[in-house]
Chains A and B, each alone.
Chain A
Amino acid sequence: MSRSGIRALGAGLVAMAAVLSACSGGGSSSAGGRQTLQLWFWGASPQQQKTMQSVLVDGFDASQSKYDLKVTFNNAVDKNVQVALSANKGPDIVYGSGPAFSAAYAVQGKLADMTPYAEKYGWKDRILAPMYESGTAHGKLYSLPNSLNNLGVFYNKKVLAKLGVGVPATFTELTADMDKAAKAGLYPSVTGNKGWKPVNQNYISMFLTHVAGGKAVYDALQGKIKWTDPKIAKAVDDSAAFYKKGYLGGKDYANLNFVESMQLLAQGKSPFFFGPTLAFQFASDSFNDAAGNTSDLGFAPFPNVTAGLPSPSGTLGTTASLSINAHSAHKDGAAEVIDFMMSEKFAQQMNKSWPGYWGVPLKKFDLDPASYTGLSKAYVQSVKDTIATVSKGNYGFFAGTFFPPATATAFTDVDGVWLGTESTTDFLNKVQSTFAAEKAKGLVPPVPEPAG
């Protein structure tokens, strides 16, 4: 090769190094003297992204003069965050699909201790105790939930009227209504885990709350009883019986997702949809003022199966968690963003056009449902009802929020019991051994004791 060839090769290598260096990206840049704060979020719909931009991004940017917030939307956010944090990179504000995710990151030193910020901004006094505690580990705060979430019964008032039944107040009434719907050629209820297997956690959590009771689950999380306890085994058995009778999406549990389920509910193909309050956001395409059916949708607590448990009771969860990256250069700014999101004003604005995802877990949630339109009205009411229920201590625990990650994954496998490929005993033995290993690693988030 000639000298000029060698020079060209050298130049090529330098150029390649420059390209690779550019591709590796960098930290947050400053624009106009302001530092950029990064938040990675899941791939919300264009309308939801617009709301996020105007309320969160523009609102936060206008509220101070030091930072610019940038939100990046991506459906693989959990995986992206996990990979980035492993490399000590990633966004300043860490989004996670619940405190179980943040607990795993906290143990590895990937999240900053937010306790000083909690003291500075008075978060502990403002936020509901179970929600605040769910983000702590070893006495330190590592995450705050953006919204509380409750599992219950969505119903179509028109379908109930057509069937000649009212909103079920007891479990017997609920199953009788579903039997009636099945006889009328409808789905007893619509729901399914198509595209997201952890949906199973909703239903096993619901049965744990309404069969075993929140207190039994609390005891299991504390290690006072084992997950193989007869109360818990009964909850699993009852959930299996419920599934086998077709009360969860009939034959189509594996073929429906929440969006399709809400469409079917709006079309009158079923009287019920069991699910989390976050499903309000999936309902807005099917129940809206344009279609004139907003008032057809109602939400009620799931009735207790076991007599004597506190009623009404909810299965408490969160939609997501917000933390601060331990390697962020702008931890103060990240805390400011989280504080901005933990306010009534933020909740008020977000809920105007995005019901279902922003039930900010404040003790004082003084939003007036009457001042909202569309589904936001019903959603804000459901959040207020949930807060009232939680304040009385009547709650159970959603696996995806309060159980450590591998234990929550083990509970996802409950469909093995439902479909008869695994016995309740084998299933719970697996859960117990998984939980014991995670408890030994300190991955169980502390939770306040429910009333019963």
Chain B
Amino acid sequence: MTATATPAPHPTGRTPAPDHRARRAYQRRRSLVNHLLVAPALLLSVLVVVVPGVLTAMAAFTDWTGIGFHADYVGLRNFTDILADPVFTTALGNNIKWLALFLSLPAVISLLTAWLLLRRRRTRTFYQVVYLMPYVLAPVVNAMVWLNIIYNPNGGVIGALHIDSPLSSLHGAIYAAAAVDMWHFWGFLTVVYFGALRQTPVEQVEAAIVDGAGSWQVFRHVYLPSIRPTLLLMGVMTVIFSFLAFDYVYLLTQGGPAHSSEVMGTYAYAFAFSAFEFGKASAVGLIMSFFGLIASCVYTWMSRRQLSS
């Protein structure tokens, strides 16, 4: 037999029992401590993310030069000016090309390499280190290496092969810049995919092999479904990164020649730091964030859908 202890009701108008007061004081103190613990991170987020974000959104509707504190409200003029500028169309198109390239080439090569690494039990650590090297180097170093050793017409690989540098081509410059960024990125993607592939339950793989599945079938029906969340996350991150592309384009072509390799990041930078038109730069920044936001929403929606199913 079990006895259930029912707490006695508080007699109305009476002072709470001492242990109850102590518990409340303890809860208040604990709540205060929790708030204090959260405060630095919250404050930092507000200062570093929320405040600049709100200010950028506000600046997009002004003619702020980025120097003083004076700015006049210009309504949607920054947006209409940008949308009417053919360079913006080129920049947006290049960001979309960048996205298409990054969602295909590095993703496929990395996945393939990661799968091959699964079979290399002894040497895979070495390979992972090698693949990660371009990723851990600063973009400026990678860009200088490619500019001086590969794309240099006087003493570089391009010069030795007697071919024109793609960086001076209206049609090739964006691909030349993307190639360097993909070279720097794919090793990282390989290591991430490899880590995900290794999480696939061994029993499932063994069961598939026992059932007579070939290598491709094991990969297609066991590994791929297993790493789907990782693929999805990296896909979304790639979309976000693609619309934020800046460093390699800036370092290799500065958006040229004749804006042919312009991306929205370099387009905004020129407004902010060459023409002193921070209002327009902020408007471009908002448009860039919009694409990232869409990608994040799609990711959240797909994650929820996956959870519910």
Residue B190 is within 8 A (CB to CB) of chain A in the complex: no
Q: State whether A405 touches B66 (Cβ < 8 A).
A: no
Chain B's interface size range is 35 or more
In whole angstroms, what is the CA distance A6 to B31 when docked?
12
- Which B residue's beta carbon lies closest to that of A252? B153
- The residue from A104, A194, A251, A413 contacting B276, defined by CB atoms under 8 A apart: A104
Q: State whether A254 touches B66 (Cβ < 8 A).
A: no
In whole angstroms, what is the CA distance A382 to B68 when docked?
39
Q: State whether A406 touches B260 (Cβ < 8 A).
A: no
Q: State whether B153 touches A406 (Cβ < 8 A).
A: no
Q: Chain A, 70-93, contact with B by CB distance < 8 Å: what is the 0/1 string?
A: 000000001100100110000000
- Among residues 226 to 267 in chain B, which have CB atoms less than 8 Å away from a CB atom of chain A? 253-260
- Which B residue's beta carbon lies closest to that of A419? B258
Q: Chain B, 152-173, contact with A by CB distance < 8 Å: what is the 0/1 string?
A: 1110000000001101101001
Known: A405-B275, A421-B259. 11 other contacts (CB 8 A): A6-B36, A9-B36, A82-B273, A108-B68, A108-B70, A194-B147, A195-B254, A251-B168, A252-B154, A254-B257, A422-B258
In whole angstroms, what is the CA distance A254 to B167 when docked?
7
In whole angstroms, what is the CA distance A198 to B254 when docked?
10
A-B pair count, CB < 8 Å, reads 96
In whole angstroms, what is the CA distance A163 to B168 when docked?
28
Q: Is the interface of B mostly helix, strand, loop or mixed?
A: loop
Q: State whether B275 touches A1 (Cβ < 8 A).
A: no
In whole angstroms, what is the CA distance A193 to B70 when docked?
34
- The residue from B67, B68, B168, B273 contacting A252, defined by CB atoms under 8 A apart: B168
In whole angstroms, what is the CA distance A264 to B159 when docked?
14
- Among residues 412 to 452 in chain A, which have CB atoms less than 8 Å away from a CB atom of chain B? 412-413, 415-416, 418-419, 421-422
Residues of chain A lying within 8 A (CB to CB) of residue B15: none
Q: State whether A406 touches B154 (Cβ < 8 A).
A: no
Q: State whether A421 touches B168 (Cβ < 8 A).
A: no
Residue B110 is within 8 A (CB to CB) of chain A in the complex: no
How many Å from the CB of A418 to the closest CB on chain B? 7
Residues of chain A lying within 8 A (CB to CB) of residue B255: 197
Q: State whether A193 touches B65 (Cβ < 8 A).
A: no
In whole angstroms, what is the CA distance A230 to B256 when docked?
27
Residue A287 is within 8 A (CB to CB) of chain B in the complex: no
- Which B residue's beta carbon lies closest to that of A81? B67
Q: State whether A104 touches B168 (Cβ < 8 A).
A: no
- Among residues 108 to 144 in chain B, which have CB atoms less than 8 Å away from a CB atom of chain A? none
How many Å from the CB of B139 to the closest CB on chain A? 14
Residue A13 is within 8 A (CB to CB) of chain B in the complex: yes
Q: State whether B274 touches A415 (Cβ < 8 A).
A: no
Q: Given the known A-B contacts A5-B33, A9-B36, A405-B276, are A264 and B257 also in contact in the complex, defined by CB atoms under 8 Å? A: no
- Among residues 246 to 292 in chain A, which have CB atoms less than 8 Å away from a CB atom of chain B? 251-255, 260, 264, 269
- Among residues 65 to 91 in chain B, which have CB atoms less than 8 Å away from a CB atom of chain A? 65-68, 70
How many Å from the CB of A105 to the closest CB on chain B? 6
Residue B151 is within 8 A (CB to CB) of chain A in the complex: yes
Q: Given the known A-B contacts A82-B273, A255-B152, A405-B275, are A108 and B65 also in contact in the complex, defined by CB atoms under 8 Å? A: yes
Residue B270 is within 8 A (CB to CB) of chain A in the complex: yes
Residues of chain B lying within 8 A (CB to CB) of residue A1: 29-30, 33
Q: State whether B68 touches A86 (Cβ < 8 A).
A: yes
In whole angstroms, what is the CA distance A9 to B168 when docked?
57
